Amino acid sequence: MILQVSVQESNYFEELTPIIQISFYIIEHFNIPIEKSISIRVGDKCISADLIPIQAKETKERSLIMNQTLYQELALPPATFEIQAYYKNHELCLGPFLTVLTEMKIKKDLPPFFGSIHDFSNELHQYGRQVGTVVFITSLSKYPHEGYYMKEGEWVKARLPHSDFIYNRIHSRRTENGKLFRQTFTEWTKSKSMLFNSRFISKWEAHEKLENATQLKAFLPKTTLYDKSIFLEWLSQYNDLFIKPINGSQGRGIIHVFQKDNNIIIENSNSPERTKLQYTSAIQAASDIQKWIKKKIFIIQESLPLITLENKKIDFRFLCHKINNDEWKITSVVGRISGEDQFVSNIAQGGKLSRPMDILHNHFTYERALLTYQLMKDLALEVSRVIDLAFDEIFVELGIDIGVDSTGNPWLIEVNSKPSKQLSTEKSQIRPSAKAIIQFCQNTWKERSNHDDNIGDFNADST
């Protein structure tokens, strides 16, 4: 049985031994034996404390009051907070605790800034506070000792507790490949915390995994690793090609090659003027492409006859989240329309958002638009499930980009393991993706409460 409780620190007790006061309602709810002591667990930290019942039997107060010794040993937030609790194996377990790992800017006398996920972090805290999940934000250099907790509307420094979940929102592949991250990752694997979205998935990795799924082959554009000979061969077969960095994001570094009037036209999404280069020689075109890509790894992909709007590219971003151990759901869908003279629809490259059904109904009958929309949803969920099963790492959130051809058939464009959070909502709103992250943590934590073990290991097999 899970119960949401209120936890606060008390200065009343001067003793150095850990002490906890528990309201009679909680004692009765969990059938806690009134003995001299009780064990309190936060993550994999467990402390024995002297138990003092709060005798107000006539109320339904759900309070845990800890002395400074116990509160500080558990590294609990610097303010009264709501959290879930269950009693098992003579331990009162509190959780879930979520730590978000990201980059941050710290300036003297100014509050911390968490970059593109700052608003999202606020929403995680707000929703977590409503439903009993505690959220901390930290960085690689501060973990595992220090982070930030929101107190009275501001992020303040705080010690990090032993978190149940660590959500990786580091935006730099270079940082993820660095020594500090690797060292920290080794420590995580030894802990009982669940680390999710632990790394970027490259375009080629995703394609290889998805290509092995028979049910998805019909939705994948022809794709292989780029080299000059492949380019020249494909150029003789296809009029339109894309060359993409396997580790690219936000539409950067993509090369578009197409043929028109016996000429080869090349445009690069990194070009500030969006200049189109024209070639009569495929060999020369390949030579210039090699200068751009240097020693980096790229894929080459056939272009698809996808629907457009006034010659602007269109795709659809499906944000998918894991609900529990093996189930996924779609939390949001947006249509993306490329900017003027752009061949990618990413918002970071000037793209605009539109309602998916508005776009689809502009191209198809209402009935066909509905069918296509459902096919896209089914594809996004199946891609999420296949990726989830194909990788050893745990992914809880995926951005699935899908295009639609002129007949209404969906095509998978890309899988993103760190979907953008830059789009802020109205100040009073909490976006569905923030709620989904908190709900996953709660569902998984509650599922662990039903297990017979008392290790609290969220990386253990939960089937």
* DSSP states of 418-447: S--------TT---HHHHHHHHHHHHHHHH
pLDDT exceeds cutoff 80 at 350: no
Predicted local confidence at residue 390, as pLDDT? 97
429-443 pLDDT, tens digit each: 899 999 999 999 999
Least confident window among 13-27, 173-187, 202-216, 411-425: 411-425
222-303 carries CATH number 1.20.120:
no
- Tell me, what's the pLDDT at 39? 98
Residue 270: pLDDT band by 50, 70, 90 thresholds?
Answer: confident
CA 291 to CA 149: how far, in whole Å?
Answer: 47
**What is the average pLDDT across 82-110?**
95
What pLDDT band is residue 225 in, cutting at 50, 70 and 90? very high
Comparing 59-63, 206-210, 317-321, 337-341, the range with the smallest average pLDDT is 337-341
At residue 460 the predicted structure's pLDDT band, cuts being 50, 70 and 90, is low
| Terminal C-alpha separation, the chain | 20
Rounded CA-CA distance 391/245 in Å is 21
Q: Where are the domains of the chain?
A: 3-95, 98-200, 201-220+305-417, 222-303
Question: Looking at residue 462, what is its pLDDT?
Answer: 42
Give the separation between CA 343 and CA 212, rounded to whole angstroms. 29
Q: Rounded to the nearest 5 degrees, what angle is found at the Cα of 191, between the Cα atoms of 457 and 454?
A: 30
3-state secondary structure of 340: coil
The least confident of 4-18, 38-52, 87-101 is: 4-18
CA 326 to CA 344: how far, in whole Å? 33
Per cent of the chain over pLDDT 90 is 78
Of the given ranges (191-205, 333-347, 418-432), which has the lowest mean pLDDT?
333-347
Structure tokens at 152: 């009275």
Which one-letter amino acid corresponds to residue 438? I
Q: pLDDT tens across 234-259, in order?
A: 999 999 999 999 997 767 889 999 99
Q: Quick one: pLDDT band at residue 142, thresholds 50, 70, 90?
A: very high
The owner of tokens 């056939």 is 302
| pLDDT above 70 for 312 | yes
- 401 in Cβ contact with 317 (< 8 Å): yes
Which token pair is 343?
A: 């061949």
Give the whole-angstrom CA distance, residue 344 versus residue 255: 10
Nearest to 441 by CA among 397, 385, 384, 389: 397
Residue 456, pLDDT score: 54
Of 104-118, 127-141, 239-253, 269-283, the one with minimum mean pLDDT is 269-283
Confidence of residue 457 (pLDDT cuts 50, 70, 90): low
Q: Check whether 463 has a pLDDT greater than 60.
A: no
Average pLDDT over residues 406-413: 96
In angstroms, the CA 115 to CA 101 distance is: 12
Query: What is the CATH T-level fold of the domain 98-200, as seen in this structure?
Result: Rossmann fold (3.40.50)
- Does the pLDDT value for residue 372 go beyond 50? yes
Tokens read off for 453: 């073990």
Helix-helix angle 366-390:356-363, to 10 degrees = 130
pLDDT attached to residue 252: 80
**Predicted pLDDT at 424:** 47
CATH code assigned to 3-95 = 2.40.40.20
Model confidence, pTM: 0.92
Instruction: Label the pairing between strands 154-159 and 146-151.
Output: antiparallel
Answer yes or no: is pLDDT of 343 > 60.
no
SS3 of residue 96 by DSSP: coil
pLDDT surpasses 80 at 264: yes
Note whether 437 and 397 are within 8 A (CB).
yes
Q: Position of tokens 């900017």?
A: 339
Copy the structure tokens of residue 413: 């464009």
Q: Which 3 state secondary structure label does DSSP give 191?
A: coil
Neighbour count for residue 424 (Cβ, 10 Å): 14
Closest CA to 404 of 369, 378, 436: 369
Distances (CA, A) of 313 to 13, 63, 318, 355, 399: 66, 56, 17, 15, 18
pLDDT of 381 > 70? The answer is yes
What single-letter amino acid sits at 47? I
The CATH superfamily assigned to 201-220+305-417 is ATP-grasp fold, B domain (3.30.470.20)
Q: Which pair of structure tokens corresponds to residue 167?
A: 């959500």
What are the angstrom distances between the C-alpha of 279 and each of 55, 255, 264, 273, 341?
85, 14, 5, 18, 20
